[in-house]
Structure 1
Amino acid sequence: MTSSDARARFLENPYILDLFAGPGGLDVAAHMLDVPSLGIEWDKDACETRYKAGLPTWHADVSAVRRDRFHELPKDLNVLAGGPPCQTYSIAGGGAGRKALDEVKKLIRALVDERACEEKIDEQLAKLEASGGDSRTALVLEPLRYAIKALSCPNREGRPFDVIVLEQVPAVAELWKVYKEALEEGLPREGGGRVRYKVAKVATLHTEAFGVPQTRRRTILIARLAEHGAPPLPAPTHHSYKSLKPKHGGPDDENVVVSAVQAALPIEGAEVPLRPWVPMRDVLMATEERPDGRTSSFEIVSNYGSGGDPKKRGVRTDGQPSFTVTGKVSRNAVRRPDGSPHDPDRMTIPEAGILQTFPPNYPWEGGDKSQQVGNAVPPLFGMHVLAAALARPPAPEEKLRENWTWAADDKRAILRKEGCGDPYECGSTCPKPEDQSSPSTSSKSARPRTGASAKRSAK
């Protein structure tokens, strides 16, 4: 096969395997680009959302699928994407992952340099957890383990993933750099030789620089098989935001700064001039198309402390982008500029989803919807990252403002049968009920479930 033939195959038929898929942020992004995807998600609540949204999903533990069911995955999956759980690496989390960075780096090198057997790696991870680590820390290794597993899976005939896309909180940048070195050095084949990738510079991007009405930073890694050429970083479309003067926003305001990625131009395809960042009022205020929006000015009071003082709450006006949408988003108070309560006086789940750039009627199902929304990749941001990785033009942002088509009950039953092994309940391959979130109570097509714990997702 010539290099031009390989490039044509890569461009024509992308099919995404989305690890740690959550409620569907990256899948909605793929939908915008008309690219099919299959998600693997551990949390039952997120799976209920995905089924109602019509998204193909395996309700399963990512690690278990790699160990026991990798050969069952569709062999034409050629794009590997993943955003492993970030709590142990984030500032808001306990920080176990940050303390274990050096150990995890060593394991990345072991996977690539020694092709260490899975059992040996698992033993080392178990020791790390036993010494006070967090079991979720190891999940950051899964994308690399999937990429290596693909090279020895008989069902794939040794075919590697053409593209790898990873995203995480900025604290994981050092790990992504080790990933970059490993992928460029090459992943080992069982019979000898290496499969090499070209990797874009590991970068921390501001989501508001891509039109997301929210300040949020994500560190990304984009890799392509060397034969496909080096991938670019996604080109920003909007100005970044810096909170110096909190009341106003726009291209001439002191709040507007040029992001590090933009300052490092040239980035092919960057829009010039960049548009102003998007304020909350542009997406949450009532319009003819969305009459159920807020009808008067408002401010958001953060649930988190500011400047190191837990009692001092940050405030943003509707003329600014939102604070980062987290799993505690429903605790953020909404008030009028004079300090009186707004109606509703808390951020609603649909509003939080819109700030994440999900479609306005996206079908949030199951329990702990705030956590689902907060864990998700903003689809608009994800779309720009995927477009850069797949050498496709970005899709129009207007697609995310269109109503989402919910899956009918019979379609949801089919998706649940494919994802759980049963059209009505979890099957033998699903995570155990006591390890999952509380069951959906709003799904009309689901039978009542018993024995499920109300324990929240650990993701």
Structure 2
Amino acid sequence: MPQLPEIVDLFAGPGGWDIAARWFNVPAVGIEWDVDACQTRLAAKLDTREGDVRKYGPADFDRASALAGSPPCQTYTVAGAGKGREALDRVLYFAERMAAGEDVTARLGGLDDERTALVLEPLRWVIEAKKAGRPYEVIMLEQVPSVLPVWKAMKWILEGMGYSADYGILRAEEFGVPQTRRRAVLIARLEGVARLPKPTHRPYDKKVSRRAGDQSRLPWVSMGDVLTRPEPFVVISNYGTGGDPKARGRRTSSEPAFTVTGKVSRNRVETMDGRDANPARITLPEAGQLQTFPTDYHWSGRDISQQIGNAIPPRLAAYIIAAALNLGDEALREIFPDLAVARTNIDT
């Protein structure tokens, strides 16, 4: 296995990137400003700097040669007010000006929601590291799908700085995560060719059996595969579908969960014959399992459901890290034994 770098994780949350790094024995340090998420990280014994990423820079983490980050997504999500989407053109303009060497800090403060500008913090770190003569060898970023245009712009900027970069939308269930969660991901490498990880599991399709489809891939992982409940169940979404608030989506325990959000506990759970399940809601430990955190993860502090919903699933992060660091097939199979079935299909 190649020499492993240290990762600095911006917007580290409760530890999605860092738990994945730990699985590979890759050192990681996370920056997080939320006190409650820091309590969870402390309980998990994750190296943490509590504070605002804007108050730090590459010089504060001179051992780190890899950069990871999941900037706050609230203003970009479909469920949110959408201020990030409205400001997207301005964000892309600021990215171009940053690449041209301008300091846009003051103008970023003029955005309606300060969290919108945080998506550009990784770019600031990359530019500062290059100016200091210690450019990051690897960059890994993820966000909600509506941020894809920002990653596209950053790909162009990074290639101008000598990186190879790749970006796109990854579907979490195609990487063994027991939920449908689409994420915009960017990977960049200073040496070698950057490629997004190749899926190992079949995409979820409600109209198709999980045993159907590409037989070189594993079936998607269902809620029933990871949650210990006495009988099959149905989850009724808290959100309406197709713009109709009364049309609640339904998933059985033989399907992946809906995207796990901070409101996951509002989803009702029933038995197959319509009775209240026991428990009748997705519990916080169950939500963590659907996000692929360890079963015994010590969630701490307040707003735990929000901590869980905001995190990158560690299993998805592991695939991204393996691809970005070029760790190879065997490294993934060592931490995910189920991949032995699909070993010829993993290509990082």
Q: TM-score, normalised by structure 2?
A: 0.93
Count of matched residue pairs: 336
Equivalent residues in 2 for 1:103-252 (5 A)? 103-113=90-100, 115-117=101-103, 121-127=104-110, 129=111, 133-153=112-132, 158-186=133-161, 196-200=162-166, 202-225=167-190, 228-244=191-207, 249-252=209-212
Deviations 1:176-203 (A, max 9, x none): 00000001112xxxxxxxxx11112x21
Q: How far apart are 1:393 and its partner, in Å?
A: 2.5
Alignment of 1:283 onto 2:226: yes
Q: How far apart are 1:400 and its partner, in Å?
A: 7.2
Instruction: Measure, in 2, the Cα distance between the counterparts of 1:203 and 1:98.
Output: 18
Alignment of 1:22 onto 2:1: no
Between structure 1 and structure 2, the one with the greater Rg is 1
Deviations 1:19-63 (A, max 9, x none): 001100111111111101000011111100000001000010111
What residue in structure 2 maps to residue 315 of structure 1? 250
What residue in structure 2 maps to residue 437 of structure 1? none
What residue in structure 1 maps to residue 65 of structure 2? 78
Q: Name stretches of at least 5 consecutive residues in structure 1 with no aligned partner.
A: 1-7, 187-195, 259-271, 285-292, 402-459
Tell me: CA distance 1:162–1:135, structure 2 relative to 1, closer, same or farther (3 Å): same
Aligned partner letter, 1:251:
R
What residue in structure 2 maps to residue 98 of structure 1? 85
Q: Name stretches of at least 5 consecutive residues in structure 2 with no aligned partner.
A: 338-348
Identical counterparts, % of pairs: 50
SS in 2 for 1:146: helix
Instruction: Measure, in 2, the Cα distance between the counterparts of 1:81 and 1:72.
Output: 15
The correspondence for 1:336, drawn from 261, 271, 288, is 271
Q: How far apart are 1:126 and its partner, in Å?
A: 2.0
- Note if contact 2:287-2:308 (Cα within 8 Å) is conserved in structure 1: yes
What residue in structure 1 maps to residue 343 of structure 2? none
SS in 1 for 2:117: helix
Instruction: Measure, in 1, the Cα distance between the counterparts of 2:285 and 2:128.
Output: 39
Deviations 1:402-437 (A, max 9, x none): xxxxxxxxxxxxxxxxxxxxxxxxxxxxxxxxxxxx
Q: TM-score, normalised by structure 1?
A: 0.71
Instruction: Measure, in 2, the Cα distance between the counterparts of 1:322 and 1:94.
Output: 24
SS in 2 for 1:240: coil
Tell me: CA distance 1:239–1:141, structure 2 relative to 1, closer, same or farther (3 Å): same
Instruction: Measure, in 2, the Cα distance between the counterparts of 1:38 and 1:400.
Output: 23
Instruction: Measure, in 2, the Cα distance between the counterparts of 1:87 and 1:122.
Output: 21
Instruction: Measure, in 2, the Cα distance between the counterparts of 1:86 and 1:176.
Output: 14
Tell me: CA distance 1:351–1:160, structure 2 relative to 1, closer, same or farther (3 Å): same
SS in 2 for 1:98: helix
Q: How far apart are 1:71 and its partner, in Å?
A: 3.0
